[in-house]
């Protein structure tokens, strides 16, 4: 859905012009609404970086969800809104929501290849794994839609439903509305953004400028380091949240904002490595992960306990089986944007 960006392309942020997102112009008289470089091609499940400890120097600080990170990359620091010309961020944020739900152990893909004909990632449907609430309003709203939908739907279909891009009028009630505005308010509560009102001649617009630039700079550095100093040729040794951030930020057309400050040589290297990630066969990577899981299926209790202890306040599941299930959803979402 989103292609690699070119450095020469002028970019001021990232935002869609879809009708369910901010910034929303209002007339003045309107009332305000509320890795190490490892070329080993044979991944080891024990060495896979499945937790979120990597890059977390500020582990005691309030963490951001994948959706909030992608939005923050697209926001203009001073202006506090995203570009009107970006028509990719809406669907990109919905993909982030699905991955975030999978990381928290709430959804997974239907089983395939055991008693039935093996299906590819994009044809496997999302099924409810655990119906307990996450505490995040957006995630819980999406989770309720998944729970109440019979028969189940595939990842590409859910991205369309949640974005309101379906041609089926009976499915429009699945659309998540005001996603960017709600995410921005979450970031305001976390002290990253603030809320202001800007006047554009005949319109007032609520904006959310960045007030904690350190958080955004760390996010930018995370993206840069993942493609440069901490790059690994074995994608299964890459932190899964960082991998998701890179792929979904690119799908949302906001990753360029993180890479633009690099020097020419580093920028070219980062783009080549990003191209390598985009060229990966998602189906093959998901199958490889399952094979690794089968080969290393007899992990001892101590290893499983270590993975569980790496779970954080997001409520993510630490077991190997849960990690594989979450990774399948991740690869399916990535495949939906790369098809």
Query: Residue 237 has what pLDDT?
Result: 94
25-39, 138-152, 206-220 — which is least confidently predicted? 25-39
Query: Residue 113 has what pLDDT?
Result: 66
In the DSSP assignment, the letter for residue 110 is P
pTM of the model: 0.80
In the DSSP assignment, the letter for residue 200 is E
Q: Beta 126-128 vs 26-27: how paired, if at all?
A: unpaired
> What string of DSSP letters covers 145-185?
HHHH-SS--BHHHHHHHHHT--S-GGGGGGPPPSHHHHHHH
Question: How far is CA 54 from its chain centroid?
Answer: 17
205: pLDDT strictly greater than 90: no
Kind plus residue range of the DSSP H or E element containing 128: strand 126-128
Which CATH number among 1.10.3630.10, 3.20.20.60, 1.10.3720.10, 1.20.1250.20 corresponds to the domain 26-338? Answer: 1.10.3630.10
22-31, 58-67, 71-80 — which is least confidently predicted? 22-31
Percent of the chain with pLDDT over 90: 60
20-34, 84-98, 110-124, 251-265 — which is least confidently predicted? 20-34
| CB-based contacts of 22, cutoff 8 Å, min separation 6 | 81, 178, 180, 181, 184, 206
58: pLDDT strictly greater than 50: no
282-295 helix and 320-338 helix, angle to the nearest 10 degrees: 170
Query: Residue 202 has what pLDDT?
Result: 74
Residue 17 pLDDT level (bands cut at 50, 70, 90): very low
Domain positions in the chain are 26-338
Query: Taking the CA atoms of the chain, what radius of gyration do you get in angstroms?
Result: 20
């Amino acid at each position: 859905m989103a292609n690699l960006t070119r450095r020469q392309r002028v970019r001021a942020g990232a935002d869609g012009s879809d009708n369910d997102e901010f910034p929303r112009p209002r007339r003045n008289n309107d009332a305000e609404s509320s890795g190490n470089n490892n070329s080993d091609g044979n991944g080891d499940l024990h060495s896979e970086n499945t937790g979120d400890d990597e890059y977390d120097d500020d582990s005691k600080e309030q963490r951001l969800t994948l959706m909030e990170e992608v939005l923050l990359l697209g926001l203009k620091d001073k202006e506090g809104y995203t570009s009107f010309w970006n028509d990719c961020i809406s669907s990109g944020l919905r993909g982030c929501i699905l991955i975030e739900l999978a990381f928290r152990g709430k959804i997974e893909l239907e089983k395939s290849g055991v008693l039935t004909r093996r299906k590819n990632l994009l044809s496997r449907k999302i099924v409810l794994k655990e119906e307990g609430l996450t505490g995040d309003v957006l995630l819980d709203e999406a989770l309720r839609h998944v729970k109440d939908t019979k028969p189940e739907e595939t990842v590409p279909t859910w991205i369309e439903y949640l974005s309101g891009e379906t041609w089926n009028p009976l499915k429009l009630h699945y659309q998540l509305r005001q996603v960017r505005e709600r995410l921005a308010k979450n970031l305001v509560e976390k002290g990253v953004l603030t809320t202001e009102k800007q006047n554009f001649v005949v319109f007032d617009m609520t904006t959310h400028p960045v007030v904690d630039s350190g958080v955004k700079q760390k996010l930018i550095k995370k993206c840069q380091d993942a493609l440069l100093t901490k790059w690994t040729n074995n994608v299964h040794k890459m932190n899964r949240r960082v991998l998701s951030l890179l792929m979904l930020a690119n799908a949302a057309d906001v990753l360029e904002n993180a890479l633009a400050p690099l020097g020419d040589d580093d920028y070219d290297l980062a783009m080549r490595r990003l191209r390598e990630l985009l060229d990966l066969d998602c189906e093959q990577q998901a199958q490889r992960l399952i094979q690794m899981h089968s080969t290393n299926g007899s992990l001892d209790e101590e290893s499983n306990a270590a993975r569980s202890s790496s779970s954080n306040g997001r409520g993510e599941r630490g077991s190997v089986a849960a990690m594989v299930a979450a990774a399948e959803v991740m690869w399916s979402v990535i495949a939906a944007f790369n098809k």
